[in-house]
Every structure is written in structure tokens, then in C-alpha cells.
């Protein structure tokens, strides 16, 4: 089934959702281990992330790739669950209170999911309490906070403060248009990523640091 | 010393890259060079102007109208004539009071129908029609509206219809023509440069794609859906832009016939092509999908009018500036110097003889809200020095001045 797995990776890279769906159906019907199918998906999205970081492709191409991946995941996830194959780490993600923007946050969620993390996406305009409750419920290793607006940067700062006060052990990473490495440090975040592909590297780095 | 030029002459000289007597200043001439209504109120107080509630001229971003007395206090050289209808599809008329979620008393159009839910979030209806689903949402702790993506239940991404996405583009009706006649008469003697937003020339502006002005939009209306359509259905997008441009050119002719002599600058398109670090679309994509339609619009304007054309795009768009020049744009805004590759010295040296920078005056994401007054002053002076040499610069902050910006940092010019 090697060629079919390659076909799936290629369909993801090119954002061809119908082909991705078909390839996934055929692979699962042929009894290929769901973990192998997941690896093919991850390989496709990994390539997408690499080209995105290198400015070879842009947001529209990443979105169609992510849509193709989601089409495939819709078929794959129940099978992975049925064989007890679950991601080792969970990432909680959301846009901070007062901010309704989600394109960047959704891209991060898809990229992180493709890198085989469990993603709990709380959506937009998320209160600090909702973030903390989700961290407790899902025992997440990492939380990703997004803000697009200058006016919601104070809400990001407050959210980090309240997470720290709550005592929940979690690595906090932040991102979004007005967010900088300097601001991330200032508000006590553990990590910062300038784009969705870098967010995956950052989540992995933070988890490795926790384990070390 | 008495100024040698009036405001109109000053702006026209600067835009044409001839040396004006001083750098012209814009605040409030468009929906991308304005100020949040809370900042306008603060400035009115700072300058000791009459204590009246600010009119919200643009309810989506909650921009405040900068009236004559504040224009004078700020030394503003550009006068807007706003579109007849706001982004929520209603005219600004018969002002009524409204208390914002942050407690400011403002004036809004009588058609502004907004309601808070139990959580304190505010929702606004298109065309003031409360029977239609709301098209804008302001979170309890927010300072402006965001559009609500109202997906048509019959939408089928495998069968896109041009007509669905053309609903908002129509020939100018008599009501709008009358509005322009009245506005032209009001501002014909104005000695400030007149700036207007053209109707229907924004190609794929993501703020407009969800059509917050329509009661029941159909077609591709989601932000992510739109970007994906650009990637996966470029032929559809090009045909849509062609049809949209056909209508826009006829409307430009009509506008020219009514008010052509009054207008100096036209905002053609606000589509953002840049993110903080990179482009939204690759250069080849923009050249294939956007460039020919932009050329058609700009060529018509340059052949038939004395207007100067204004292109807005946020972000790290340095790789696209040649394309904007090729498209015939005269003016680039907002010149987001903090984005990757947008260093003022590099931009002025490389493109300063081909395009005018309208913006770039101060960073509204960082320096203006969070810097010290001294840092703001230093940045403003440095930008004026770099961009202002030899003309080709209209001073404006980088995009609208945001809510929460401390007033003492906005009013300190000399």
C-alpha cells in the first residue's frame, strides 16, 4: 500500500480533498494500520508547513491542505480511537477574550493536530476561566493563546496571569499578529511562534523541555 | 510664516511627488486612516473643544467623525466624503444617542439597531433590519464589531454561482446619485483635498466578503472559504472580479459625471495581501488574479479623470509593491513598517520615485499605544524625515488609531 500512502500525502500537499478522502477510504478498507495512515497525513502536512515557513506557499494553500487533512481525519479518527491509539499529548487552544478572530488559530490547530497531538479547540472569545477549566479537564501539556488585536493583548496578559495563579502545570505559548517574542516574555509565556508551522516546533520544544 | 499652499494643493503636490510646503496630514479621510470614536472623544477634550458626543461615522470599526473644529486643531489636509451607506448597509442619518459597552455616549445613525445579549455581547443587524440575522458582533470587552459569517444553508462549494457573489454589486441608484450631488455641492469650495471610497472596486476585501450589509448573503461568504476559493477555484474568482469591474467602471463614470471635479483621491481597494511576517498570496497569484483588473480600473481613472488612486494593504507586502506600481496605483497605504521587509529607508529608496506613501507615520500596534510620548515623537519625526523628503508622503498613522490609545500621545504634534 506504499503507493496509496504516498498518494494520500500528495493529495494533502496539493489540498485535493476528494482524492484525500478516497485514498483514506481505500487504505482503511484494505486494512492498513490507522497509525500508518496518520503518518502519511502527517508527512503531507509536514511538507505543507515547511513550504509555508519558507514562503513557497501561503495561507490559501495551507487552508486547502488543512481542509483535505480534516476530510481524511474525519474517517481516520474513529478508527484510531477504536484501536486505542491516542496522541500522547494534548494542546488546548483558543483566541482570548474579546477577540473573535480565528484563521491563525485554526491553522495552528490543524498543524498541531497533523503533528499527532490531541487538540482541544475552545474557539474564539474564550474567557480565562474557560481556558483553565479545559486545562484541568484535559490535562493538557501545552496551551496556545491567540490574539489578533492590539486591544486584546491585555486579555492575553490577564489570561496568562490567571493560568499561573490557578497553579495548573502547563506550558503557555502565544501568537497572533501584534504579538512579539518580547511581549511573550513580558507576560510570562513559555513560548512564542510567529506562524502556524513554527507553532508545531514550539509545542514540541516545550514538551521536550518539560520531559527533560 | 503663512503657508504657501492650501491643503488641496499640498496633498496633490505630495501625492505627485513634488515638494509640498509642508508634509500634509490625514486623520479621518477614510475607513482605514481614521480614529476610534473613544480616541476622537479624548482628543476633543484634549483640545478643549465643545463637549458633544462623537458621531460614529463607521460603525463596524467604531470610527469617530473628525469634525471641522478637530480637523483644524490637528491641521488636517484631507476631507472625506463617505459612502452613502455604511458597511452594515444603512445610511448615516438622523443621529441618535447610543451608550457603548465601554460606557461612552456616542451618536449613531437612526438605523443602527444593536442589542446586547445576556452575556453583554452586542449584535447589529444589516440594513437596520431586525428581522434579518445579525451581521456584526461586538464582544462584551470589545471596542468594535466583527462580521458574523452567515453561511447560506444551500451553499455548495462544488457548485459555485457567480450571481451569488455579485449580489452586492449594482449600478448606482438615484438615491445614491442624489447623495453624491448633495455632497459635491457641499464640498465643491472646500480647500482640503477630497478623498472618497469608490463603490465596488474592492476586489476580494476580506472585510466585505461576508457581506455584513446584506440581509441574507449567498455564495462564498466565510473568510476561510474565500481564501480556499482563491487557491482552488482561481477561474471563478477571476470571472467574479471581471464582472465586478464591469459594474464598477460604469459607476465610476456616473460618479465622475456628478462629482468628478470635486474629488482628488479615490480609495480603490482595501484587500490585505500581507500578514505580519509574509504574504497572504504569492506574487504570481496576485499578478494573475488581481493585476489585470486593477490595471483596468486605474487605467480608466487616469485616462478620464485627475483623480489619484489609493491602494491599501496591511502587512509585509514589499514583494508586491512592484505589482501595485504596474497596476497603476499612485498611493500605497498604510505602509506597515513593523512588518517583515517594510523598513522605511529601504521602501523610500527603492519605491519612493514610483509610489506615494500615505501612512507609515507611527506604529499603532506598539509605539502609539504602549510607547512613551518621547518614543512616539521620535518615531514620528524619523518617519517624516525618511518618507517626506522630496514629497511622496502624506502623514497618517499606520491604519486607524485604536481604542485604548492614550490621548497624550496622539495630540502632541507641532
Q: Write down which residue in A82, A105, A132 finishes a domain.
A: A82
Q: Which of A55, A64, A98 is facing B231, going by the closest CB pair? A: A64
Distance CA B362, CA B357 (A): 13
Q: Which of B280, B369, B403 is facing A59, going by the closest CB pair? A: B280
Give the number of other Cβ atoms within 10 Å of residue A165's Cβ.
10
Measured CA distances, A117 to A35, A107, A134, B11, B188 (Å): 13, 14, 16, 55, 63
DSSP string across B92-130: --S-EEEE-TTS-EEEE-TT--EEE-TTS-EEE-GGG-T
The answer on A103 and A43 residing in a single domain is: no
Name the closest residue on chain B to residue A194, using Cα atoms: B277
The answer on A6 and A75 residing in a single domain is: yes
Segment A85-118, tens digit of pLDDT: 989 999 999 999 999 889 899 999 999 999 999 9
The answer on A96 and A119 residing in a single domain is: yes
The answer on A100 and A36 residing in a single domain is: no
Q: Write down which residue in A82, A107, A126 finishes a domain.
A: A82
Distance CA B247, CA B392 (A): 31
SS3 content of chain A, % helix, strand, coil (to 5): 60, 10, 25
CA atoms within 13 A on the CB side of B362: 31
The answer on A189 and A115 residing in a single domain is: yes
Q: What integer pLDDT is reported at residue B412 of this predicted model?
A: 54
Distance CA B119, CA B82 (A): 33
The answer on A136 and A48 residing in a single domain is: no
Q: Which helix (H) or strand (E) holds B244?
A: helix B234-259
Q: Tell me the residues of A at the B interface, defined by beta carbons under 8 Å apart.
A: 15, 55, 57-61, 63-64, 67, 97-101, 103, 106, 125, 149-152, 154-155, 177-178, 180, 194-195
Name the closest residue on chain A to residue B142, using Cα atoms: A98
Name the closest residue on chain B to residue A126, using Cα atoms: B139
Q: Which of B140, B228, B365 is facing A63, going by the closest CB pair? A: B228
The answer on A56 and A159 residing in a single domain is: no
Residues of B in contact with A55 (CB under 8 A): 278-279
Q: Write down which residue in A63, A82, A101 finishes a domain.
A: A82
Interface touch B280/A101, C-beta < 8 Å: no
The answer on A76 and A117 residing in a single domain is: no
Interface touch B232/A101, C-beta < 8 Å: no
The answer on A143 and A64 residing in a single domain is: no
The sign of the dihedral angle between the CA atoms of B9, B12, B16, B19 is positive
The answer on A140 and A67 residing in a single domain is: no
pLDDT classification of A138: cutoffs 50, 70, 90: very high
Distance CA A11, CA A32 (A): 18
Distance CA A91, CA A121 (A): 8
The answer on A9 and A78 residing in a single domain is: yes
Residue B17: exposed, middle, or buried by beta-carbon count in 10 A (0-12, 13-18, 19+)?
middle
pLDDT surpassing 80 at residue A68:
yes
ipTM of the complex: 0.90
Are A171 and A82 in contact, with CB atoms under 8 Å apart? no
Distance CA B200, CA B361 (A): 28
Q: Which of B207, B83, B192 is nearest to B144 (CA)?
A: B207
Q: Which residues pair with B35 in a beta bridge?
A: B401
User: Taking CB atoms and an 8 Å cut-off, how many pairs form between chains A and B?
Assistant: 79
Per-residue pLDDT, averaged over A18-40, amounts to 97
Q: What integer pLDDT is reported at residue B414 of this predicted model?
A: 42
Interface touch A98/B146, C-beta < 8 Å: no
CATH number at residue A147: 3.40.50.280
User: Angle at Cα A167 formed by Cα A162 and Cα A169, nearest 5°?
Assistant: 110
CA atoms within 13 A on the CB side of B339: 26
Residue B384: exposed, middle, or buried by beta-carbon count in 10 A (0-12, 13-18, 19+)?
middle
Q: Which of B199, B189, B188 is nearest to B84 (CA)?
A: B199
Q: Which of B221, B228, B353, B218 is nearest to B281 (CA)?
A: B228
Distance CA B149, CA B56 (A): 23
Buried b (16+ CB within 10 A) or exposed e, B385-414: ebbbeebbbbbbbbbbbbbebbbebbbeee
Q: What integer pLDDT is reported at residue B2 of this predicted model?
A: 57
pLDDT classification of A177: cutoffs 50, 70, 90: confident
The tens-digit pLDDT sequence of chain B (414 residues) is 556 899 999 999 999 999 999 999 999 999 999 999 999 999 999 999 999 999 999 999 999 999 999 999 999 999 999 999 999 999 999 999 999 999 999 999 999 999 999 999 999 999 999 999 999 999 998 999 999 999 888 888 899 999 999 999 999 999 999 999 999 999 999 999 999 999 999 999 999 999 999 999 999 999 999 999 999 999 999 999 999 999 999 999 999 999 999 999 999 999 999 988 899 999 999 999 999 999 999 999 999 999 999 999 999 999 999 999 999 999 999 999 999 999 999 999 999 999 999 999 999 988 998 899 999 999 999 999 999 999 999 999 999 999 988 887 776 554
Are B172 and B183 in contact, with CB atoms under 8 Å apart? no
Q: Which residues pair with B58 in a beta bridge?
A: B63
Distance CA B187, CA B260 (A): 12
The tally of domains found in chain A comes to 2
- Enter the DSSP assignment of B135: -
Are A146 and A96 in contact, with CB atoms under 8 Å apart? yes
CA atoms within 13 A on the CB side of B270: 17
Residues of A in contact with B369 (CB under 8 A): 150
- State the cell numbers at B179: 447623495
Full residue range of the structural domain in which residue A37 is found:
2-82
The answer on A153 and A178 residing in a single domain is: yes
CATH number at residue A41: 1.10.1240.10
Amino acid at each position: 500500500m506504499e503507493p496509496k500512502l504516498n498518494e494520500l500525502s500528495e493529495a494533502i500537499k496539493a489540498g485535493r480533498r476528494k482524492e484525500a478522502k478516497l485514498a483514506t477510504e481505500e487504505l482503511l478498507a484494505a486494512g492498513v494500520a490507522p497509525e500508518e495512515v496518520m503518518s502519511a497525513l502527517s508527512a503531507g502536512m509536514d511538507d505543507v508547513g515547511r513550504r509555508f515557513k519558507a514562503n513557497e506557499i501561503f495561507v490559501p494553500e495551507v487552508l486547502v491542505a488543512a481542509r483535505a487533512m480534516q476530510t481524511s481525519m474525519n474517517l481516520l479518527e474513529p478508527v484510531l480511537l477504536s484501536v486505542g491509539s491516542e496522541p500522547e499529548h494534548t494542546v488546548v487552544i483558543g483566541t482570548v477574550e474579546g477577540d473573535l478572530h480565528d484563521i491563525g488559530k485554526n491553522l495552528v490547530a490543524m498543524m498541531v493536530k497533523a503533528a499527532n497531538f490531541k487538540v482541544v479547540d475552545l474557539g474564539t472569545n474564550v474567557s480565562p476561566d474557560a481556558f483553565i477549566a479545559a486545562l484541568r479537564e484535559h490535562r493538557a501539556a501545552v496551551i496556545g493563546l491567540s490574539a489578533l488585536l492590539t486591544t486584546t493583548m491585555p486579555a492575553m496578559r490577564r489570561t496568562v496571569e490567571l493560568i499561573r495563579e490557578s497553579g495548573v502545570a502547563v506550558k503557555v505559548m502565544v501568537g497572533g499578529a501584534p504579538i512579539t517574542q518580547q511581549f511573550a516574555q513580558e507576560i510570562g509565556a513559555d513560548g512564542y511562534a510567529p506562524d502556524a508551522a513554527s507553532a508545531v516546533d514550539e509545542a514540541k520544544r516545550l514538551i521536550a523541555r518539560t520531559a527533560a | 510664516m503663512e503657508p504657501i499652499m492650501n491643503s488641496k494643493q499640498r496633498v496633490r503636490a505630495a501625492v505627485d511627488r513634488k515638494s509640498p510646503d509642508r508634509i500634509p496630514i490625514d486623520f479621518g479621510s477614510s475607513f482605514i486612516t481614521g480614529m476610534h470614536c473613544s480616541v476622537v472623544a479624548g482628543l476633543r477634550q484634549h483640545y478643549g473643544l465643545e463637549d458633544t458626543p462623537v458621531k460614529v461615522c463607521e460603525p463596524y470599526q467604531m470610527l469617530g467623525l473628525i469634525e471641522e473644529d478637530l480637523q483644524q486643531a490637528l491641521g488636517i489636509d484631507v476631507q472625506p466624503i463617505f459612502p452613502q451607506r455604511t458597511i452594515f448597509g444603512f445610511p448615516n442619518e438622523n443621529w441618535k444617542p447610543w451608550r457603548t459597552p465601554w460606557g461612552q455616549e456616542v451618536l449613531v445613525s437612526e438605523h443602527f439597531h444593536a442589542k446586547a445579549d445576556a452575556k453583554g455581547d452586542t449584535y447589529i443587524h444589516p440594513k437596520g433590519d431586525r428581522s434579518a440575522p445579525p451581521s456584526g458582533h461586538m464582544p462584551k470587552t470589545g471596542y468594535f464589531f466583527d462580521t458574523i459569517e452567515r453561511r447560506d444553508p444551500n451553499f455548495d462549494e462544488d457548485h459555485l454561482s457567480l450571481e451569488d457573489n455579485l449580489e452586492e454589486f449594482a449600478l448606482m441608484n438615484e438615491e445614491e446619485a442624489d447623495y453624491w450631488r448633495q455632497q459635491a455641492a457641499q464640498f465643491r469650495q472646500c480647500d482640503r483635498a477630497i478623498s472618497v471610497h469608490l463603490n465596488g472596486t474592492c476586489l476580494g476585501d476580506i472585510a466585505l466578503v461576508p457581506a455584513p450589509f446584506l440581509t441574507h448573503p449567498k455564495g462564498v461568504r466565510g473568510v476561510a472559504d474565500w481564501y480556499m476559493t482563491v487557491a482552488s477555484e482561481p477561474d471563478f474568482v477571476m470571472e467574479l472580479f471581471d464582472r465586478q469591474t464591469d459594474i464598477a467602471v460604469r459607476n465610476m463614470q456616473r460618479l465622475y459625471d456628478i462629482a468628478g471635479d470635486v474629488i482628488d483621491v479615490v480609495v480603490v481597494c482595501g484587500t490585505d495581501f500581507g500578514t505580519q511576517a509574509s504574504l497572504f498570496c504569492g506574487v504570481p497569484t496576485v499578478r494573475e488574479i488581481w493585476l489585470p483588473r486593477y490595471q483596468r480600473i486605474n487605467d480608466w481613472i487616469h485616462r478620464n479623470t485627475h483623480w489619484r488612486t489609493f491602494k491599501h494593504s496591511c502587512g509585509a507586502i514589499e514583494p508586491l509593491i512592484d505589482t501595485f506600481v504596474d497596476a497603476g496605483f499612485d498611493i500605497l497605504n498604510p505602509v506597515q513598517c513593523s512588518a517583515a521587509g517594510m523598513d522605511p529607508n529601504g521602501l523610500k529608496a527603492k519605491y519612493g520615485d514610483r509610489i506615494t506613501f500615505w501612512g507609515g507615520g507611527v506604529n499603532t500596534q506598539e509605539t502609539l499605544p504602549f510607547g512613551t510620548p518621547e518614543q512616539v515623537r521620535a518615531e514620528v519625526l524619523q518617519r517624516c524625515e525618511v518618507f517626506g523628503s522630496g514629497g511622496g508622503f502624506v502623514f497618517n498613522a499606520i491604519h486607524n488609531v485604536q481604542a485604548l490609545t492614550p490621548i497624550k500621545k496622539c495630540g502632541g504634534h507641532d
